[in-house]
Amino acid sequence: MRNRIMLLLTVAFAALLAWNLKNILLGLPDEARQDAVYRILYFHAPAAMVGLTGFGVGMVFSGIYLATKNLYWDTLAASTTEVSLMFAAINLVTGSIWGRQQWGVWWAWDARLTSMLVCWLIFAGYLMLRRAIDEPDTRARLSAVVSLFGTVNAWFVYKVIEWFPRLQHPGPVLSFRTGGKIDRALETPFYWNVLALCLLAVVLVMIRMRQESLTREIDSLRRLAHA
Amino acid sequence: MNANFEYLCYGLMAAWLIVALYVLLLGLRESKLRRELDRVRQMVEPRSK
């Protein structure tokens, strides 16, 4: 059943992405100042949205673990965080490529870029911490603390372009933050890409969870073998 | 080729390369786990007979 759901979600992701990619690359006009390169932002920003939201969702799962002490929630938190870290990496790399073309530099140490990098490093540290601790309850408890700390930083990443309007990074563009500054024809494919990346994220988290259940099965068989 | 278009290609390739690398990593991890599961099962089976 789970495999069937994963297959269905993968097909939906691929179909949605292919259709939307055609619209983005062939249907949309070039932007007046940026020409063709602005299309990178249709992946750069959705990757950030999925990544930062995933960090928050991971923190919620960690919170549920702390409340229930059920390790399933800790595993779900770790899987969600790992997948979110991949989306955050996409955001950083594609942003750097866009910045090289638009600003002439690969990187600028402004508050938005730096806080996103710090956020990525915190959650990379979260995964390293998990590998360093063998005892499941201690690992889950400490991971939850790092997740909370990282998610506060993720919230800062989201808000910083409103708090510091004179950054190298552009300010908010989407209509839900500006009240309708962007043309709907340019904005709609953006949300389709957010949905496509969300579907991909769910599939990847499901694969990670399947691997975690394999790990649990191996551990219980090992205990049986040594009993 | 338009330099602008060149950077668009780099951006899209980089994004999908990261996804591909992660999926590859997941695939490798899963096959390693399945091999390990088979090995531990073989270890346990003679005991349960």
Write the pLDDT tens digit of every residue in B9-34: 999 999 999 999 999 999 999 999 99
Whether residues B18 and A86 touch (CB distance < 8 A) is answered with yes
Question: Which residue, among A35, A19, A78, A28, has the nearest Cα to A54 in the 3D structure?
Answer: A78
Whether residues B30 and A208 touch (CB distance < 8 A) is answered with no
Domain count for chain B: 1
Beta-carbon contacts of A96 under 8 Å, excluding residues fewer than 6 positions away, are A106, A107
pLDDT, mean over chain B: 89
In a domain, B37, yes or no: yes
What residue in A sits closest to B36 (Cα-Cα)? A218
pLDDT above 60 (res B1): no
- Give the structural domain span for B47: 21-49
ipTM surpasses cut 0.95: no
**pLDDT-derived band of residue B47, with 50, 70 and 90 as boundaries?**
low
In a domain, B4, yes or no: no
In a domain, B9, yes or no: no
CA angle A146, A201, B19 (to 5 degrees): 95
Whether residues B11 and A222 touch (CB distance < 8 A) is answered with no
Check residue B48 and give its pLDDT: 62
Q: pTM of the prediction? A: 0.92
Whether residues A94 and B11 touch (CB distance < 8 A) is answered with yes
3-state secondary structure of A64: helix
Check residue A186 and give its pLDDT: 85
Chain A residues near residue B46 by CB distance under 8 angstroms: none
Q: Hey, of B6, B7, B41, which one would you mutate to test binding to chain A, going by the most A CBs within 10 A of its CB?
A: B7
A vs B: CB pairs below 8 A: 84
Question: Which residue, among A23, A5, A3, has the nearest Cα to A199 in the 3D structure?
Answer: A5
In a domain, B7, yes or no: no
* pLDDT beneath 50, residues of chain A: none
In a domain, B29, yes or no: yes
Whether residues A101 and B4 touch (CB distance < 8 A) is answered with yes
In a domain, B49, yes or no: yes
Q: Of the candidates B5, B11, B40, which has its C-beta nearest A98's C-beta?
A: B11
Which residue ranges make up each domain of chain A? 38-221
Q: Of the candidates A97, A210, A217, which has its C-beta nearest B10's C-beta?
A: A97
Can you tell me the distance from the alpha carbon of A221 to that of A225, in angstroms, rounded to the nearest whole number? 6
In a domain, B3, yes or no: no
* Helical packing angle, A41-68 and B3-48, nearest 10°: 30
